[in-house]
Structure 1
Amino acid sequence: MRYINVFLFAVSSYYALQSQYRLSSIVFTALGLSRPESWPDIMGKWSDAYTVRRLWGRTWHQLMRRWVSAAGEFIAQTVLGLTPGTNVSAYTKLFVAFLISGTIHQLGDFSLKHQNFWAGGSLVFFVSQAVAIMFEDGIIALGKRMGVGDGRGVRVLGYVWTVSWFALVFPVWIDPYFHDGMATSEMFSPVGGVWKGDWTGKSVNIWLPLEY
Structure 2
Amino acid sequence: MLDALSPSAEDYPLSAPPGWLQPLMSMICIYSIILPHGAIRLSAGGLVFGLFFYLQFWTADRGVNGYATGTGCASIVLRWLDLLVMHRPETEFWSVEEIKQDGSHVKVQAKVPFDRWAKLKWFGSLWIASRGVGWNIQSSQLPPPVAKDYPKDRWLFRTIVRTFSMYLGYDLTSNILLHIVREGPFLAHPIAWQVFYAWTKAFRAYYSFESSYFALAIMSVATGICQPHQWPPLTGSFGRDAYTVRRMWGRCWHQCMRRPSGEAGRVVKETFRLKDGTYLSRYSQICIGFLVSALSHHAGATVGCFEDGGAWQFTYFMLQPAGIMLEDLAIYIGKKCGLRPDGLTRRFGFLWTILWFSWTLRFMVAYQPNTWVTSYSAPSIIGYVMRRSIG
- The residue number in structure 2 matching 1:106 is 298
- Secondary structure of the 1:121 match is helix
Matched, 1:95 2:292: no
- With structure 2 as the length reference, what TM-score do the two structures score? 0.47
- The residue number in structure 2 matching 1:182 is 372
For 2:251, the aligned partner's letter is R
List per-residue Cα deviations over 1:107-138 (Å, max 9, x = no partner): 1111222367x444221111110111011101
Separation of aligned partners in 2, 1:46 and 1:119: 28
- Secondary structure of the 1:105 match is helix
Cα 1:58–1:65 change in 2 (3 A) is same
Q: Is the contact made by 1:49 and 1:55 (CA closer than 8 Å) also made in structure 2? A: yes
Q: How many residues align?
A: 195
Alignment map for 1:78-93 (pairs within 5 Å): 79-93=271-285
- Secondary structure of the 1:182 match is helix
Q: Aligned Cα RMSD in Å?
A: 2.0
For 1:181, the aligned partner's letter is T
Alignment map for 1:55-134 (pairs within 5 Å): 55-77=248-270, 79-114=271-306, 118-134=309-325
- With structure 1 as the length reference, what TM-score do the two structures score? 0.84
Alpha-carbon shift at residue 84 of structure 1 (Å): 1.6
Separation of aligned partners in 1, 2:258 and 2:349: 23
Q: Is the contact made by 1:106 and 1:121 (CA closer than 8 Å) also made in structure 2? A: no
Q: Is the contact made by 1:52 and 1:162 (CA closer than 8 Å) also made in structure 2? A: yes
Identity %: 31
Give the alignment partner of residue 40 of structure 1, picking from 225, 229, 232: 232
Matched, 1:146 2:337: yes
List per-residue Cα deviations over 1:46-96 (Å, max 9, x = no partner): 12101100100111111111221011101112x211112222111111001
Stretches of structure 2 lacking an aligned partner (at least 5 in a row)? 1-191
Cα 1:142–1:66 change in 2 (3 A) is same
Separation of aligned partners in 1, 2:376 and 2:211: 21
Alignment map for 1:11-22 (pairs within 5 Å): 11-22=203-214
Stretches of structure 1 lacking an aligned partner (at least 5 in a row)? 198-202, 204-212
For 1:134, the aligned partner's letter is M
- The residue number in structure 1 matching 2:16 is none
Greater Cα shift, 182-191 or 38-47: 182-191
- The residue number in structure 2 matching 1:207 is none
Q: Is the contact made by 2:313 and 2:364 (CA closer than 8 Å) also made in structure 1? A: yes
- Secondary structure of the 1:177 match is coil
**Greater RCO structure (CA 8 Å; 6+ sep):** 2
Alpha-carbon shift at residue 171 of structure 1 (Å): 1.2
- The residue number in structure 1 matching 2:11 is none
Separation of aligned partners in 2, 1:121 and 1:154: 32
Separation of aligned partners in 2, 1:140 and 1:115: 38
Separation of aligned partners in 2, 1:139 and 1:160: 14
Alpha-carbon shift at residue 18 of structure 1 (Å): 1.2
- Secondary structure of the 1:23 match is helix
